[in-house]
Structure 1
Amino acid sequence: MTNILYSCYTNVSREGEQFIPEHVFSYQISGKLQMYDGNKLHVFEEGDFRFLKRNHLVKFTKIPPENGEFKALSVRLDQQTLRDFSREHGYNEVKHQHVEPILSLKHDPLYKSFMDSLTPYQLKPLENQKLMTLKLTEAILILLQTNPELAGALFDFAEPGKIDLEAFMNKNFRFNVEMKRFAYLTGRSLATFKRDFGKLYQMSPGKWLQNKRLQEAYHLLKEKGKTVSDVYLEVGFEDLSHFSFVFKKKYGLAPSKI
């Protein structure tokens, strides 16, 4: 997987996995990006820079400008690169320091000049590994110079610890990710996650998620007056026809009739 990612969309897009496995340093070239982390909606406009912390769930909507294209340039800072950097530059590993999952970075000339240097690789991938390492090292040095507190995220190599399952699921049931992601983020193997879930809810995670999402969908349709096309994505379904089928099966009415 390349560490330099260029995104370009001509239509509004909500597609993609809602999980951030590695830290990401991004530049919004054009259009608008909306990101929801389970607590807060973050909006990034043209010219904005952001830092996304690894091991977090995020929903995103990519909105191109009128008669234009959504464009973003991102640098993925993987764990091996950061481990190598920490050894070479004398940074000690830190554990579980609190850093917000989505950070809006205050504009700095270093960010723009760095992202401009990546322009040639938007259409032609950077295949020279030594040059790739140099660019990633430059990105890390810039982030540490402008935001020293990011060391608490960049050099935290610990895996998620075991956390309260009920609180986590009630907060994150709307995210459409594989069950193994939920298990990992709660500090459990998939087998342990399913076992603990069964003890807590007396049903499978899949059944609970469907019921919880349908209840939330009913509330949004009935009390908030939202449209079916918005609601099914918001609560974690990925297919409108499947959502309509299971909703009618549970409530006896098509969602459009609520």
Structure 2
Amino acid sequence: MADLKSKKQASPIAYSCYFTRNREGEQFSSEHVFSYQISGTLTINNGEKEYVFKEGDFRFTRRNQLLKFIKQPPVNGVFKSISVYLDQGTLRSFAMEHGYHADHSQSKDAGSIIALKGGSLVKGFMDSLMPYSEDDQMIDANLQALKVREAIMILLRSSSVMKDILFDFSEPGKIDLEAFMNENFHFNVQINRFAYLTGRSLATFKRDFEHIFHTSPSRWLQQRRLQEAHYLIKEKGRAPSDVYLEIGFEDLSHFSFAFKKAFGIPPSRLAG
């Protein structure tokens, strides 16, 4: 699973464009993201809820989120969206400059993905980002930084709770590991990512995990994913080719091998 913003991607402004067919995948949102759906439909699932954004919609994605997505172009059209990534360094600087402080209790119920109201100010801002997304344009880094600060100011105007979200610099606290893993096992992320999101060091995560589940994280993840796959194929009539990515395997051949080793038959036979 890749981060929502790749480390190789230097620009805080990203343009997404896909033709003709759907694109599915997983991402980890390590920074807050302010986005505009130009065309097509984006479906996001964070393990608890599904969100659907259509042409003309604006959204805000909170940092430290595990997400599954489907990008669907319109009929005979192109999927397009543009996003601004709000890094922690810029937000800390902005908070210090303007005297902002987060009230942690105010932002807990705001949700991990927030649909935002539009309007001419927000639409005009997003339209102004288009030149920054063109590959043949070398936009000065200082201009990009100004656009990020403009995005922060617009978000602060959009909702009173945004202050408490944007300027909350706390890291994930230690949470119920068993509940978290049972809810998020289907995300294909490294063990150290699970550890971070549950508020633990890698060593503490492994120790707590084995105390709760009586096995290693990697072994439990594979067993849990295979159990879910068996249920989806046998009870729900799902095809193995439609299931393996959904439950956290990277390729079909590895999934089929692991499934046969666990249950004695290949998933294709179970489906038949």
Q: Provide the TM-score with structure 2 as the length reference.
A: 0.90
The Cα offsets for residues 174-206 of structure 1, whole Å up to 9 and x where unpaired, read as 111111110000001111111111111121101
Displacement of 1:127: 4.0
Other-structure match for 1:209: 221
The Cα offsets for residues 135-176 of structure 1, whole Å up to 9 and x where unpaired, read as 111111111111121112101000001111101101111111
Displacement of 1:109: 1.9
- Report the residue type matching 1:12 in the other structure: N
Q: Say which is worse superposed, 3-12 or 205-214, in terms of deviation.
A: 3-12
1:92 counterpart = 2:104: no
Partners of 2:172 and 2:249 lie apart in 1 by 26
Listed as ranges, the matches of 1:89-168 within 5 Å are 89-95=98-104, 97-98=107-108, 99-124=110-135, 127-168=139-180
Which of 12, 37, 40 is the matching residue for 2:22? 12
Structure 1: segments with no counterpart, 5+ residues: none
Partners of 2:148 and 2:27 lie apart in 1 by 24
- Report the residue type matching 2:23 in the other structure: S
After TM superposition, the runs of 4+ consecutive aligned structure 1 residues lying more than 3 A away are 93-97, 124-127
Q: Say which is worse superposed, 164-173 or 195-204, in terms of deviation.
A: 195-204
1:2 counterpart = 2:11: yes
Which of 54, 63, 72 is the matching residue for 1:63? 72
Structure 2: segments with no counterpart, 5+ residues: 1-9
Listed as ranges, the matches of 1:34-49 within 5 Å are 34-49=43-58
Contact 2:43/2:50 (<8 A) preserved: yes
Displacement of 1:126: 5.7
Residues 141/126 of structure 1: CA separation in 2 closer, same or farther (3 Å cut) = farther
The Cα offsets for residues 214-235 of structure 1, whole Å up to 9 and x where unpaired, read as 1011111111111212211111
Q: Identity, % of aligned pairs?
A: 58
3-state secondary structure, aligned to 1:238 = coil
Other-structure match for 1:190: 202
Listed as ranges, the matches of 1:65-84 within 5 Å are 65-84=74-93
Contact 1:126/1:132 (<8 A) preserved: no
Displacement of 1:129: 2.5
3-state secondary structure, aligned to 1:203 = coil
3-state secondary structure, aligned to 2:244 = helix
3-state secondary structure, aligned to 2:223 = helix
